[in-house]
Chains A and B, each alone.
Chain A
């Protein structure tokens, strides 16, 4: 039987605000445990939350960038559950009136046609604290630094039919969140997290199968692998005549399998009710318009502009706009040295190769636009050749050297005084009589060998076309 995989995504993203959603504590990542904690976010009785207005602004930005309707009259709701990661014993979230609804993100389906992935809703909520298991004392330690960090939960429709579609959507969503400044989307720091709801059904069947929810997916690679594993598991069960149990499963990326989490039984009964401590939020037409007009350029808009105004091929623009770090490097380098296609080629070629070789994430790259522009300019003006340029860039990238100084100190500049070339080439000709004879007897390819010898003698620092010209001049 042919099976169809059906998936929906719940994406949580931590917002790039300075402070938490309901108090003035810093959201900085990686502080000592419980150093970004106050009486509000540690849930002391008698304290009151006060909403960070930037959270609303970021939520509206995200909604506009994903074609959503913006809810004019918003309120918050209480989701009650008893677990030490939330000291209030409830999470302030939005159930009844989420701030954004009915949007979409466009991806490309398997046949290359545009496909819209529906966004069911986006709502604002607070993150929970971190639980650390203490092996030594067999207890649990709690750090509330992340507790109260603002989150957006972006809930898609069950529109995905393959892992590729899921990854495309996540990449688009990440680019949107980064470009709008809403989140830095660092998966390794947990600022972008995805839960995948997955079910399978015989191809052509209308009803959905029973779904499972997978958590703990903290890299794109893990998401791809977890989807393949879960789809296979469900298909095998169904083909053996067994039933799928609706459950939450946890993915173990090291071991490459998922397991059912011990169900919290009745804990799923959250007894939601309207949050009495926070008055409603009304969003006016003017507010929406002012947020819209102040929106930074989105990846799709940048792509169009690079094609129309800079004449870049579509392929290049897709790669450059896939990450905000590439866009910043591209635009700032371009401003310094011009030549869009050259800059694009250096980024897509050498820079990405260096990132890959050193397993560096684009957002952690330390290469400055000024240094990249200097290398590009030296190559463009023939001060160094392309091969030397690559070597210099590698030194800049890995050791942070100054490119111009490095070229000067290591005597890498091309020979510009052409009269210095002739004696070297004459020497090469004198030392390679056999090749010269071959060349003169009509084996024209022998000149390639001589060319190579000459370049080697010149340590690659001479313009190749000048060397070739001189060789012909002397031999012919």
Chain B
């Protein structure tokens, strides 16, 4: 897969970030390097190997349906850049 400037700009849009021209050029190269590196995996012969999305043979890690957390609003809101009426405040979003 070929990374170009348009693709980087598209990814910026999806991630709601804006890069400078230098950062854009650098990202283009970095992303291309990552993909080339990953492509090495395609050289492996995987005939007869079942597709997997996890590398460890672990399954069914679950918990009981019991409430273990109590209200900790103050602690949670400490991470809010801005708060009002017990809520996080973010720039106006319109549907």
For residue B30, give the distance in angstroms from its CB to the closest CB of chain A.
18
Of the candidates B59, B71, B77, B93, the one whose C-beta lies within 8 Å of that of A140 is: B93
Check: B22 CB closer than 8 A to any chain A CB: no
For residue B8, give the distance in angstroms from its CB to the closest CB of chain A.
14
Of the candidates A38, A50, A52, A266, the one whose C-beta lies within 8 Å of that of B72 is: A38
Check: B89 CB closer than 8 A to any chain A CB: yes
Question: Which residues of chain B from 48 to 67 have a CB within 8 Å of any chain A CB?
Answer: 53-54, 56, 58-67
Check: B68 CB closer than 8 A to any chain A CB: yes
A281 near B94 with CB under 8 A, answer: no
A280 near B59 with CB under 8 A, answer: yes
Given A51-B62, A54-B65, A250-B95, answer yes or no on A33-B87 (Cβ-Cβ < 8 Å).
yes
Count residues on chain B whose CB falls below 8 Å from chain A CBs. 38
For residue B9, give the distance in angstroms from its CB to the closest CB of chain A.
11
Of the candidates B15, B53, B63, the one whose C-beta lies within 8 Å of that of A24 is: B63
B84 near A137 with CB under 8 A, answer: yes
CA distance A261 to B95 in the complex (A): 7
For residue B87, give the distance in angstroms from its CB to the closest CB of chain A.
4
Question: Which residues of chain A from 61 to 91 have a CB within 8 Å of any chain B CB?
Answer: 75, 80, 82-84
Check: A36 CB closer than 8 A to any chain B CB: yes
CA distance A33 to B89 in the complex (A): 12
A52 near B63 with CB under 8 A, answer: yes
A280 near B53 with CB under 8 A, answer: yes
CA distance A429 to B48 in the complex (A): 102
Check: A391 CB closer than 8 A to any chain B CB: no
B93 near A267 with CB under 8 A, answer: no
Check: B38 CB closer than 8 A to any chain A CB: no
**Cβ contacts A22-61/B at 8 Å (1 or 0 each):** 0111100001111111110010100000111110100000
A32 near B65 with CB under 8 A, answer: no
A18 near B16 with CB under 8 A, answer: no
For residue B81, give the distance in angstroms from its CB to the closest CB of chain A.
11
A130 (CB) vs chain B CBs: closest residue = B87
CA distance A53 to B60 in the complex (A): 9
B91 near A140 with CB under 8 A, answer: yes
**Cβ contacts A88-107/B at 8 Å (1 or 0 each):** 00000000000000000000
Given A34-B76, A38-B72, A141-B88, answer yes or no on A56-B62 (Cβ-Cβ < 8 Å).
yes
B63 near A276 with CB under 8 A, answer: no
A residues in contact with B65, CB < 8 Å: 17-19, 52-54
A267 near B14 with CB under 8 A, answer: yes
Most buried by A among B10, B60, B85, B89: B60
Of the candidates A34, A53, A142, the one whose C-beta lies within 8 Å of that of B64 is: A53
Of the candidates A138, A142, A281, the one whose C-beta lies within 8 Å of that of B60 is: A281
Most buried by B among A37, A44, A274, A282: A37
A83 near B93 with CB under 8 A, answer: yes
A residues in contact with B53, CB < 8 Å: 75, 274, 276, 280
CA distance A52 to B63 in the complex (A): 5
Given A279-B61, A280-B53, answer yes or no on A26-B67 (Cβ-Cβ < 8 Å).
yes
For residue A279, give the distance in angstroms from its CB to the closest CB of chain B.
5
A-B residue pair count with CB separations less than 8 angstroms = 135
Check: A134 CB closer than 8 A to any chain B CB: yes
A residues in contact with B77, CB < 8 Å: 34
For residue B67, give the distance in angstroms from its CB to the closest CB of chain A.
5
For residue A365, give the distance in angstroms from its CB to the closest CB of chain B.
27
B85 near A141 with CB under 8 A, answer: yes
A24 near B14 with CB under 8 A, answer: no
B residues in contact with A203, CB < 8 Å: none
Of the candidates B67, B71, B76, the one whose C-beta lies within 8 Å of that of A19 is: B67
A residues in contact with B94, CB < 8 Å: 262
Check: B44 CB closer than 8 A to any chain A CB: no
A280 near B54 with CB under 8 A, answer: yes
A32 near B14 with CB under 8 A, answer: no
Given A50-B63, A261-B95, A279-B59, answer yes or no on A24-B69 (Cβ-Cβ < 8 Å).
yes
CA distance A185 to B80 in the complex (A): 33
Check: A459 CB closer than 8 A to any chain B CB: no
Check: A269 CB closer than 8 A to any chain B CB: yes
Question: Which residues of chain A from 102 to 146 have a CB within 8 Å of any chain B CB?
Answer: 131-134, 137-144
Check: B41 CB closer than 8 A to any chain A CB: no
Check: A206 CB closer than 8 A to any chain B CB: no
Check: B90 CB closer than 8 A to any chain A CB: yes
A266 near B88 with CB under 8 A, answer: no
11 further A-B contacts with Cβ under 8 Å, apart from A134-B89, A143-B86, are A33-B86, A34-B76, A34-B87, A38-B69, A42-B79, A44-B79, A53-B64, A139-B92, A142-B88, A144-B76, A278-B61
Q: Which 3 pairs from chain A and chain B are nearest by CB?
A: A24-B68, A274-B53, A141-B87
The 16 sampled A-B contact pairs (Cβ below 8 Å) are A19-B65, A19-B68, A23-B69, A24-B66, A24-B67, A36-B69, A50-B62, A53-B62, A54-B65, A137-B89, A141-B88, A250-B95, A262-B94, A266-B13, A278-B61, A280-B54
Q: Which residues of A are in contact with B by a Cβ distance under 8 Å?
A: 17-19, 23-26, 31-39, 42, 44, 50-54, 56, 75, 80, 82-84, 131-134, 137-144, 250, 261-262, 266-267, 269, 271, 274, 276, 278-282
